[in-house]
Structure 1
Amino acid sequence: MEEEANLNQFGSKRKMPLGFLFKDASLIFKRDELGLEILHIALPTALALMADPIASLIDTAFIGHIGPVELAAVGVSIAVFNQVSKITIFPLVSVTTSLVAEEDTVSRVNNVTESHNLEESHPKNNEMQNLIPKPDSGKVAPTRTGGNPKIENLEFAKRNIPSASSALVIGGLLGLFQAIFLIIMAKPLLRFMGIKADSPMLTPAIQYLTLRSLGAPAILLSLAMQGIFRGFKDTKTPLYATVVGDVTNIILDSIFIVTFHWGVSGAAIAHVFSQYLISIVLLWTLRKKINLLPPSIADLQFGRFLKSGSLLLARVIAATFCVTLAASLAARLGPIPMAAFQISLQIWLASSLLADGLAVAGQAILASAFAEKDHEKATATAVRVLQHSLVLGLVLAFVLGVGLQFGSKLFTKDIHVLHLISISIPFVAATQPINSLAFVFDGVNFGASDFSYSAYSMVLVAVVSIVCLVIFFYTHGFIGIWIALTIYMSLRMFAGFWRIGSGSGPWQFLRS
């Protein structure tokens, strides 16, 4: 009877591919336990993810008033830095979130079992605790463990989470390697992006990229810690740290760029300083929750990170190559098209990142549900976050379609740049529902630890998208780039839909 009820609730194998996204649609905004859990994780995550792109947009606004050449140069540098960073950041954060969520769930279950065993082994002590009179003042209130110090230690002692310690070590090392790589390879990478030796963009681009690379260790370490906090389902702490850092970035932008006239170098220095501040705040908070380093090196879980991380590394290389190629093609059109593409791309990515909050919520809850083998909650969570993402995408499409008609003037006053931005607005706005669903499907599959499918499907999507980019660029120019990016995100969305919709891989239980 229970299996029959589950089939009626979530659909059979034949109905699932077409109908699961709209299952129980009337519950989409219900403030039940699941809805509140998603909200408490997704909202702070979305705000934290939005904070950095907003800071980048403010950087872009400051630099845009210096001149279109500097704006285009910084646009290329940011594209290089972001794409290289994503190759290391995305696998690290995604794997960390899933592994920490699984370990934390298992740890809590074990702690509850051990606490229960301790209580049963001291029944008389617990009975005596209830018989002893409790004075009303001058004493600490009895704990919910009945005053048993062994049980209290289980609840309040700092925990050893091997995957969290592993993430910190890996994040720090990857950050150092990334900084060294970007500083040494700055000029060749910019040349690859289409900036020629005699281009006026070359000098400011090298200045910005070299200085900003100094913040790579802090960025990798702080994002590893954000993955840890997400695994704990604590997304408020990363939000607070990110807001502190990005507000500092904005203040320093006004000082270094406007007051000191340091130009693109001032923007880079402000960003680096803010990233180290974020890292310090997160590290100080995390040390109160867990032991940062395990008792021995043998406890580190480098093997699990390498296995899952290598799959996601292939995935993120394929994904970032598409966006990097798009930026490179825009740069080949000249400073004006590149400046317009940079502004449009930043808005496109910043708005789409709102859906990442739902993706993180889905991933964290699903990782815990799969660890507990709670298939009913796993399915309900996947359906709910996907429905939320569709609504979010439709709202963003309307807001950007209307708002960008007027808001683009905040970033530049160059009429040629504004004209090209107006051409890209329909693509930026119309793709929001597609982007939102694609990102949340990623989170759903990561929560199920379905890293293999995520990697292989993205490689296939990238191959098709790269071919489209080249063809449409040479046939339609600037507009062709946006057509190809729309195809790219549509294929990503379909790949995510197919996995859960067909009830394959970790979702096979939907067919039973």
Structure 2
Amino acid sequence: MTVQAERVSARSVLALAVPALGVLAAEPLYVLVDTAVVGHLGAIPLAGLALGGVLLSQVSTQLTFLSYGTTARAARLHGVGRRSEAVAEGVQATWLALVVGVLLLGVGQLVAGPVARALAGPGEVADAAVSWLRVALFGTPFILVTMAGNGWMRGVQDTVRPLRYVLFGNGLSAGLAPVLVHVSGWGLVGSAVANVVAQVASAGLFLRALVVERVPLRPVPARMRAQLGLGRDLVLRSLAFQACFLSAASAAARTSAEAAAAHQVVLQLWVFLSLVLDSLAIAAQSLVGSALGAADRRRARALAWQVTRYGFGFGALLAVLFAVLADPLPRLFTPDAAVLAEIPAAWWFFVVLQPIAGVVFALDGVLIGAGDAAFLRNTTILSAVLGFLPLIWLAMAFGWGLAGVWTGLAAFMVLRLVAVLARTRSGRWAVTGAVRS
């Protein structure tokens, strides 16, 4: 049988990817709006938002198993027609989200100050970050509930409702942010309050969606333990990411407030486009998981290469677009001439990496959908240890600034590219069955 005979129509992929794109883009787009709003307060508040935002992002990036792991498990069950069991995966993921979210809220309040000062050093940037973070942390349980909700809905190939829920919450907060920051005079704290409003609104809609499914809502410890097994590998993988990005934020903050602010602008654009590209990965998770659940290994392998081609093409288009926007776009985020002067040191790395990111993120989605989290864990840790972290530490030691930081990111992405291409070609990831433990 040829690969062509196993293809899923582009329309089917896009039917999942386009709404997922809206969900993935909504949060970083809100952060970009928030960055533009806070940027007009000056370099110190913007640098504080940069550091506080990186610290808060540890919540979602460390606990991706609540969305990606839930998608993988629910998709396999959905592939064999067991929808109620697929939704039940979402119930247990939501219980985990609430418990872990409350714990993280408490711990975060205790460590916010020491961690911010350890990363940026004592001073105005660390103080600004702490003032923002202490308020924004109250959104933590709701961030995690939203992640779990996205996970089970993607697993049953429903990406439209999550889009509506997330757009409602973030749209509400995007309207509030400029009012609270500038009109009400709350400054940086107003940004944090608007952030919490977004999380509460979206999470409430996901909780309601579970209730109307009419599945048992009680916690089932055995199923939660099974989810945590997959979660362990994804959490360790996320730790590698966060060691890298926290080190990068620290290197930028220790260079200057202007470098930290410039890094915030380019990093948020990177995060935004990463999640745009990740929309294909979401489609791959759902379709590959469903195919493997139905024991259709050949279809799963064909899907992997199909989304790889889509990812490369999409990334190349984004590279061209942001090369053209290199001069005017940064000016939307800050009028500060010193910050604008720092941005080009990171900008061209950001542009050139887009096609590579398109392939890497697409294949990450394939392998997560297949439950191949242990391989992704090992690959990410090795790429961080061999590529990203050494160059960031050298950048701090020798004063290489943003160019050194973004050289580290480039090395990290290239190493991951080589690894996921080799793994996908091997086919060892394509294990069939209703649920892969």
Do they superpose with TM above 0.5? yes
Q: Distance in 2 between matches of 1:162 and 1:258?
A: 44
The equivalent residue for 1:213 is 137
Is 1:303–2:246 an aligned residue pair?
no
Runs (5+) with no aligned partner, structure 1: 11-23, 112-157
Is 1:63–2:38 an aligned residue pair?
yes
3-state DSSP class of the match of 2:335?
coil
The equivalent residue for 1:253 is 177
Q: Is contact 1:161–1:290 with CA below 8 Å preserved after alignment?
A: no
The equivalent residue for 1:193 is 119
| TM-score, with structure 1 as normaliser | 0.80
The equivalent residue for 2:435 is none
Q: C-alpha root-mean-square deviation of aligned residues, in Å?
A: 2.0
The equivalent residue for 1:474 is 397
* Amino acid in structure 1 at the alignment position of 2:23: A
CA change 1:254–1:292 in 2 (3 A) is: farther
Is 1:168–2:142 an aligned residue pair?
no
| 1:393-423 CA-partner distances (Å, limit 9, x unpaired) | 0001011111131111011111110011122
Seq. identity, %: 29
Is 1:270–2:155 an aligned residue pair?
no
Q: Distance in 2 between matches of 1:419 and 1:463?
A: 30
Q: Distance in 1 between matches of 2:430 and 2:81?
A: 23
1:257 to partner: Cα distance: 1.2
Q: Distance in 1 between matches of 2:92 and 2:259?
A: 43
Is 1:230–2:205 an aligned residue pair?
no
The equivalent residue for 1:51 is 26
| 1:110-163 CA-partner distances (Å, limit 9, x unpaired) | x9xxxxxxxxxxxxxxxxxxxxxxxxxxxxxxxxxxxxxxxxxxxxxx767432
The equivalent residue for 1:279 is 203
* Amino acid in structure 1 at the alignment position of 2:76: E
Q: Distance in 1 between matches of 2:127 and 2:180?
A: 19
Of 74, 80, 94, the residue aligned with 2:55 is 80
1:202 to partner: Cα distance: 2.7
Q: Is contact 2:251–2:395 with CA below 8 Å preserved after alignment?
A: no
Q: Is contact 1:164–1:228 with CA below 8 Å preserved after alignment?
A: yes
Q: Is contact 2:289–2:369 with CA below 8 Å preserved after alignment?
A: yes
Of 81, 100, 105, the residue aligned with 1:179 is 105
| TM-score, with structure 2 as normaliser | 0.94
3-state DSSP class of the match of 1:215?
helix
* Amino acid in structure 1 at the alignment position of 2:80: V
The equivalent residue for 2:333 is 411
Q: Distance in 2 between matches of 1:253 and 1:36?
A: 37
The equivalent residue for 2:384 is 462
Q: Distance in 1 between matches of 2:326 and 2:160?
A: 30
* Amino acid in structure 1 at the alignment position of 2:116: L
Is 1:100–2:62 an aligned residue pair?
no
Q: Is contact 1:218–1:275 with CA below 8 Å preserved after alignment?
A: yes
Is 1:293–2:268 an aligned residue pair?
no
1:507 to partner: Cα distance: 7.2
Runs (5+) with no aligned partner, structure 2: 433-437
The equivalent residue for 1:202 is 126
3-state DSSP class of the match of 1:287?
helix
1:290 to partner: Cα distance: 4.3
The equivalent residue for 1:118 is none
Larger Rg: 1
Q: Is contact 1:97–1:227 with CA below 8 Å preserved after alignment?
A: yes
Which residues in structure 2 correspond to 1:124-135 (within 5 Å)?
none
Q: Distance in 1 between matches of 2:430 and 2:333?
A: 45
| 1:219-252 CA-partner distances (Å, limit 9, x unpaired) | 0011111111111111111110111111101111
| 1:363-385 CA-partner distances (Å, limit 9, x unpaired) | 11101101111122112211111
The equivalent residue for 1:326 is 248
